[in-house]
Structure 1
Amino acid sequence: MDINGKRIAITGSSSGIGQALAKALAKQGAEMLIIGRREAAASLTASGINQTGGRAHFVAADITTAAGCASVVAAIQLRLGGLDMLINSAGGVRGGRIEDISESELTQMIEVNTLAPILLTRAVLPMLRQAGAALVVNVASAMGLVGAPFYATYAASKAGIAMFGEALRRELKGEGIGVMTVYPVATDTPMMQSSNAGPELGFHKETVESVVDAIVDGIEQDRLQVVRGGDARLQMIELNRTNPLAIDERFQQLKPTLWEAVQNHKAL
């Protein structure tokens, strides 16, 4: 897809991967709608894009609520006049043993990572159909491919949005709307600040720039998915299919240290 001139709405774009991606797409000539829960942060992101010659608007909305979803749809119609691409980038995480995580935190992860993007995608489909050649991009996680201990619900929610995207892509095939799924590994963003898991535990943090470059390339090349982590990640995914007990054993050895590192990991 040629990004220049496209009208793009992106959730979770007032910080992290979403913010960096919004700036990169604006540089490519897209008109952006910045969507975030915090009005000041969303406004600042949009202003920064406009000050550097891009075109951006913002809407402050909690997409996990019906009112928030409706306000996003209204803002797309008002500010962009239609939609060529929806990027579901908003996400939340809470690490730790499942019995130590509150029910409200578990629910939050499922709502923001899975349910909200499904409902928002459904709501904007009429506008995407009118565009003629449109795209939905879902930012999942490497944990949606290989589940890690102490991230059971997070992994489930990211696997859920990944399978939603795969099924939706097949549902919409031939109808002018594509779907691409992104599987980032640990990325150096505010979401990871409360995690103490490092390379010794398999958490090799990528820069935001490298992840964003891969997503932009995926959009331009009409890829079905973008899997980060290089050959090591691809080998782990394959081993998880062919010999999952080997992955179980690897995590068994890491569990005590991993729990200490991620029990306070929270970005909701």
Structure 2
Amino acid sequence: MKAAQARILLTGATGGIGREAAAAFLAAGARVLLSGRSPQALAALRVRLARRHALGEDDLSWAAADLRMPQEVEALAEHAAGWRCNVLVHAAGAPAFGALDALDAVTLADVLNTNLLAPMLLTRALLPHLRRQRRAQVLCVGSVLGAIGLPGYSVYGASKSGLRGFAEALRRELAGSAVRVQYLGPRSTRTSFNTAQAQAYAKETGSASDSAASVAAALVQMLASEAPERFLGFPEKLAVRLNGLVPTALDGGFRGHGRTLATLASLQERTGP
């Protein structure tokens, strides 16, 4: 879809990737409905973007919603349909880094609800409206960790792996309809999403990262290309292919990551948070 034809509901709009994505979509000519949990943050973002791009209320609007609450998901879908949305971008997310036994049940539930269940519920709620459009797209912002199991990211990876499976199955389910379903898998992105411990882990393991602006640019490209799936970064893209063909072949390559995770956990226990 050409950006000028897109009316995009963007969740997680006030996050690191979300803010850059909103600006990139607008610069490409799209109209955007910003969504997030904080009305104050959304209103402030809307003012900044509207001034930069000289946009009116119909071109750039916002709607607050806590996607962990099913009733708010339904209300957001109704609002987006009334706004004539034809593209849904799932950019909202919750982080989780650390060994499984170091993560509490509340964190597990929050990550799975935000990263997996909420996109499923919002897509389901908005799907009848999207089906009525001449052309529509659902673009899921996942992670390479949804295709590569990495020590320290068992919970986060599970949520993104589930999102990838959802996007893949729904893409096939809606084949022949007006709705295209896509999945973008960025590697580590330089935003406040990453905790200090996660950043230390990335540094110790030599993991590369990208800017939020580069991820936003990839989203704009996917909107235009309608590509079903894309992963960002090298060697991450190669690792995704290898892991898909022979998953156990990479087990040995991540033993160092496991040792680093254990070292960081031990250090945190001695020094405190």
Q: TM-score with structure 2 length normalisation?
A: 0.90
Contact 1:197 1:262 in 2 (8 A): no
Q: Which structure 1 residue ranges, 5 or more long, are not aligned?
A: none
Indicate the larger mover: 121-130 or 234-243: 234-243
Q: Does 1:212 align with 2:216?
A: yes
Structure 2 counterparts to residues 179-218 of structure 1, below 5 A:
179-194=181-196, 195=198, 196-218=200-222
**1:207-229 Cα deviation digits (max 9, x unpaired):** 11111111211211121112101
CA distance in 1, matches of 2:145, 2:139: 17
CA distance in 1, matches of 2:149, 2:264: 17
- Give the secondary-structure state (helix, strand or coil) at the position aligned to 1:4: helix
Q: Determine the structure 1 residue equivalent to 2:170.
A: 168
- Give the secondary-structure state (helix, strand or coil) at the position aligned to 1:91: coil
Query: What displacement does 1:193 show?
Result: 4.1
Counterpart among 118, 136, 140 of residue 138 in structure 1: 140
Counterpart among 153, 160, 174 of residue 155 in structure 2: 153
Distance change >3 Å, CA 26–CA 198, structure 1 → 2 = same
Q: Does 1:84 align with 2:86?
A: yes
The size of the alignment, in residue pairs, is 261
Percent of pairs identical after alignment? 30
**1:14-59 Cα deviation digits (max 9, x unpaired):** 1211221111111122221111011111111211221122331111
Q: Does 1:31 align with 2:57?
A: no
AA matched with 2:194: M
Q: Determine the structure 1 residue equivalent to 2:79.
A: 75
Contact 1:150 1:262 in 2 (8 A): no
CA distance in 2, matches of 1:259, 1:36: 35
AA matched with 1:46: R
Q: Determine the structure 2 residue equivalent to 1:241.
A: 244
Indicate the larger mover: 171-180 or 54-63: 54-63
Structure 2 counterparts to residues 4-43 of structure 1, below 5 A:
4-43=4-43
Q: Determine the structure 1 residue equivalent to 2:271.
A: none
Distance change >3 Å, CA 241–CA 29, structure 1 → 2 = closer
Contact 2:78 2:126 in 1 (8 A): no
Q: Determine the structure 1 residue equivalent to 2:225.
A: 221
CA distance in 2, matches of 1:128, 1:215: 19
Contact 1:96 1:259 in 2 (8 A): no
Q: Which structure 2 residue ranges, 5 or more long, are not aligned?
A: 269-273
CA distance in 1, matches of 2:146, 2:92: 15
Contact 1:47 1:56 in 2 (8 A): no
- Give the secondary-structure state (helix, strand or coil) at the position aligned to 2:4: coil
Indicate the larger mover: 202-211 or 141-150: 202-211
Q: Does 1:63 align with 2:106?
A: no
Counterpart among 112, 115, 125 of residue 114 in structure 2: 112
Q: TM-score with structure 1 length normalisation?
A: 0.91
Q: Determine the structure 2 residue equivalent to 1:97.
A: 99
- Give the secondary-structure state (helix, strand or coil) at the position aligned to 2:10: strand
